[in-house]
Structure 1
Amino acid sequence: MVGRRAQVLDAAVRVLGGQGTRALTHRAVDSEGALPAGTTSNYFRTREALLAGILGYLFERETAAFVALAGQPRPVSVDELAGRFGAMLRQLAGPARLLTLARHAIFLEAAHHESLRVPLLEWSERLWTWSADWLAAVGSPQPVLHARQLLAFGDGLLIDRLARGGDDEFAPEEALAALLESWVKSVEGPVDN
């Protein structure tokens, strides 16, 4: 996405992620993007249209990150999968913080707007499919179910980190590995000594 529309959406993400849903107005987006007054409303007439535009923009940005991750060779161990997923979560909690905050704000809006919920579910299905493939590769007995749970767990870790902050290094790999290991071990059954 290039041009003025992309400028509008980039500014909208900065407003939404930096100040929350109450601050998201057409005027605030114009101001944040140093755009002429009325630019945002020329592209997105209503607030709901602006939210839908932001959602599409977020899909593009995060899908590109997942495609890059999914394009790597399948992980061969729980630790490798936890490492890759943890690195992505660190990126989302650090350099892509505003993008992540905007995504979570949109998630909450989707609870009240069917027009946002439908595309959100469609996008989620793609992420679950990619994740299920990797979970199957490391031995998950229920990769589709576990994909949904893993992404929800990751979002929970992100929300906790973003809301509470902290001076310590964000290192989700250990928690991710423990969760993944519990799923894989549940298939193996007890070990005879």
Structure 2
Amino acid sequence: METRQDQALDAAIRVLGTRGSRQLTHRAVDAEAGLPLGSTSNYFRTREALVAGVLDRISQQEHNTWHRLAQELTEVDLEGFTQAVGRLLHRLAGPQRTLTLARQAIFVEATVHPELRELVRTKRDELQSWGAEWLRRLGSTEPVRHFWTLMALLDGLLAHQYIVPDPGFDPTPAVRELLRGMLSTSTSTSTSDSP
């Protein structure tokens, strides 16, 4: 059962993802959630506390998204992983667009708020431990570096799709090409290192 606090956080995500960070106020969240005036500030006394709460809520929802991705992967192979990542990007660019844009708005805020930057770093480390493990299973000899290279591609593809929407958006070929290049480099490096 969703609590009022959850309702406020989900409303804050909608405000951030549809109107931008300058519009994120306690009053705007109350209105978006249909809560009595002052409800959001009862849970989050400051804007900084509200933004931190939103980051946690986004992380929970994205964790669930990544977990669903993992469940889709019955085998650990390059093509299966590529297809699953392509489906994930479609969700992030479509049904989860507002959530993704809210996350990006928080990242922008983190550039000027050191305490928020630290929270983002913690969430980033959690994601890295999960994602790097998948790349290690696919044969990467540098799974952490390869994971962040993949994430940079995904962020770029999403940003481009948001700014220049393409109804035929298909990120799968770019993901496949990057993974093949990174993993073939890993394979050739590990082969050339062997005696």
Task: Normalising by structure 1, report the TM-score.
Answer: 0.91
Distance 1:136 1:44 in 2: 40
Distance 2:121 2:74 in 1: 25
Aligned to 2:179: 180
What percentage of residue pairs aligned between the two structures are identical?
44
Count residues in correspondence.
189
- Matched residue SS, 2:37: coil
The more displaced of 110-119 and 82-91 is 110-119
Q: How does 1:141-156 map to 2 (within 5 A)?
A: 141-156=141-156
Residues 17, 105 of structure 1: 8 Å contact kept: yes
Distance 2:186 2:34 in 1: 56
Per-residue displacement from partner, 1:100-131 (whole Å, max 9, x unpaired)? 11000001111111221112111111211211
Aligned to 1:56: 56
Name the amino acid aligned to 1:170: F
Which of structure 1's runs of 4+ aligned residues deviate more than 3 A?
Answer: 71-76, 187-190
Residues 188, 10 of structure 1: alpha-carbon distance in 2 compared, 3 angstrom cutoff = closer
Distance 2:126 2:72 in 1: 17
Distance 2:31 2:80 in 1: 44
Residues 135, 146 of structure 2: 8 Å contact kept: yes
Name the amino acid aligned to 2:178: L
| Structure 1 position 22, deviation (Å) | 1.1
| Structure 1 position 34, deviation (Å) | 1.2
Distance 1:75 1:106 in 2: 34
Aligned to 2:34: 34
Residues 15, 29 of structure 1: 8 Å contact kept: yes
The RMSD of aligned alpha carbons is 1.8
Name the amino acid aligned to 1:184: L
Per-residue displacement from partner, 1:59-86 (whole Å, max 9, x unpaired)? 1111111123234546433222111111
Aligned to 1:78: 78
Distance 2:148 2:90 in 1: 19
Per-residue displacement from partner, 1:3-44 (whole Å, max 9, x unpaired)? 110111111111110100111111111111111111111111
Question: Which blocks of at least 5 consecutive residues in structure 1 are unaligned?
Answer: none
Task: Normalising by structure 2, report the TM-score.
Answer: 0.90
Distance 1:160 1:182 in 2: 22
Aligned to 2:139: 139
- Matched residue SS, 2:112: coil
Matched, 1:11 2:15: no
Residues 73, 81 of structure 2: 8 Å contact kept: no
Distance 2:91 2:112 in 1: 29
Residues 70, 130 of structure 1: 8 Å contact kept: no
Question: Which blocks of at least 5 consecutive residues in structure 2 are unaligned?
Answer: none
